[in-house]
Structure 1
Amino acid sequence: MIVTAIDESWPLFRAHTPRWSSQPLSGAGAALHGGRLNRPGVHALYLALGQATAIAEYQQDEMLMPPCMLVAYRARIASVVDFRAGYAPGVWHPLWQDIDCNWRSLAFLEEIDPPTWDLCDQVLAAGHSGILFPSQKSEGVNLVLYLDALRPDDRIEVIDPRGDLPRDQASWPAR
């Protein structure tokens, strides 16, 4: 594995569903059903290294993009697996060839654990806090952080100098 550190100079973004933008540091949504690189029960925060990538990831395959709130972050993370350059034999375990698998189909239709969940397990077992990986939706790069694996000196913060983000669900109208 190739390992790197994230510092405060890295631009990090996430496009949030407006209703849940009051919890920009939560990985609970990903933990509920799982995500590309986290199995259910693993709190994961998916971020992008660019605004356009964050929006493309949020939009997924929707023709018209639903409303979103773009949030910027600053982080200092000591140890993340760096898969930006992709698979190279001898550097990566062969399972890393499957990072682009259709994990949703495997998990929800075929009801089998996608290999990407095993990648998460490998990274966590090796003591790392996340994975940098190419976006499937843009030319950009994503970062998944495993919130429960952050080290005491790791930091992630939301950039909200004017306090514009909602503080709780009460700021959204009832449906």
Structure 2
Amino acid sequence: MKQPWRGVVYRAHHPRWAFAPDSGEGAARFGGRFNPVGTPALYTALRLQGAWTEAQQAFPFKAQPMTMVAYQVDCADMVDLTDPAILTAWGIAGADLACAWEDMADRGIEPPSWALAKRLVAAGCAGILAPSFAAGAQAGDINAIFWHWSPDPPYQVRVVDDLGRLPRDDTSWR
């Protein structure tokens, strides 16, 4: 049920954090659909438009500046949660993926998607492919979320910046 996944994914970053496009620390600080607070995660999308949609959730009618980054992925131990057979095999309900995680977390209730993420991480999964639940997402928008990643295989999620355009540290903001 775990399988390698290779391809290119995208993420739209707040420009302030363009010097650390593979840190996952923002997700650790605030939590996300598939990571509780304290657990780093790297959220990406399989399509450029999907990455933009994910990043603009709070501003669907007033787009904010973003830095778009591509990543080359060669990652082992991924689970495809867009495949109904995989969901069945893992005993995962679609409602667990689509839960109102932020509202639940704000009320002190552990979202089912967090419990699922903990279970998958404990089973040795490096990440998942999951449908996008962002406002304005298209039916086929898929995200790749990583809990284990590095610039090299077996958990490669490498920033594509062949021309060195991204800043190397936060001094560009001083």
Tell me how far apart the structure 2 counterparts of residues 59 and 66 of structure 1 sit (CA, whole Å): 7
Are the equivalent residues in 2 in contact too, given 1:79–1:129 (CA < 8 A)? yes
Gap runs ≥5 in structure 1: none
Are the equivalent residues in 2 in contact too, given 1:77–1:150 (CA < 8 A)? no
TM-score by length of structure 1 reads 0.88
Number of equivalenced pairs: 169
The equivalent of 2:73 in structure 1 is: 75
Are the equivalent residues in 1 in contact too, given 2:75–2:153 (CA < 8 A)? no
Deviation readout 1:33-76 (Å, 9 max, x if unpaired): 21100011111000100100000000014121111000000011
User: 1:134 is aligned with what amino acid?
Assistant: P
Q: CA deviation at 1:153?
A: 2.7
Are the equivalent residues in 2 in contact too, given 1:45–1:144 (CA < 8 A)? yes
> How is 1:88-103 mapped onto 2 (pairs within 5 angstroms)?
90-103=88-101
Tell me how far apart the structure 2 counterparts of residues 93 and 150 of structure 1 sit (CA, whole Å): 32
Tell me how far apart the structure 1 counterparts of residues 64 and 51 of structure 2 sit (CA, whole Å): 13
Are the equivalent residues in 2 in contact too, given 1:95–1:115 (CA < 8 A)? no
Q: CA deviation at 1:113?
A: 1.2
Are the equivalent residues in 2 in contact too, given 1:15–1:71 (CA < 8 A)? yes
The equivalent of 1:142 in structure 2 is: 143
Q: CA deviation at 1:152?
A: 6.5
Q: CA deviation at 1:167?
A: 1.0
**3-state DSSP of counterpart to 2:23:** coil
Q: CA deviation at 1:11?
A: 2.0
RMSD of aligned residue pairs (Cα, Å) = 2.2
Q: 1:74 to 1:148 in 2, by over 3 A?
A: closer
Tell me how far apart the structure 2 counterparts of residues 39 and 149 of structure 1 sit (CA, whole Å): 20
**3-state DSSP of counterpart to 2:90:** coil
Runs of 4+ in 1 over 4 A off after TM superposition: 86-89, 148-152
The equivalent of 1:161 in structure 2 is: 162
2:54 to 54, 57, 63: 57
Tell me how far apart the structure 2 counterparts of residues 151 and 122 of structure 1 sit (CA, whole Å): 25
Tell me how far apart the structure 1 counterparts of residues 117 and 151 of structure 2 sit (CA, whole Å): 14
User: 1:19 is aligned with what amino acid?
Assistant: R
Q: CA deviation at 1:154?
A: 2.1
Q: 1:89 to 1:34 in 2, by over 3 A?
A: closer
The equivalent of 2:104 in structure 1 is: 106
Moved more, 124-133 or 89-98: 89-98
1:25 to 14, 22, 27: 22
The equivalent of 2:4 in structure 1 is: 5
Q: 1:17 to 1:145 in 2, by over 3 A?
A: same
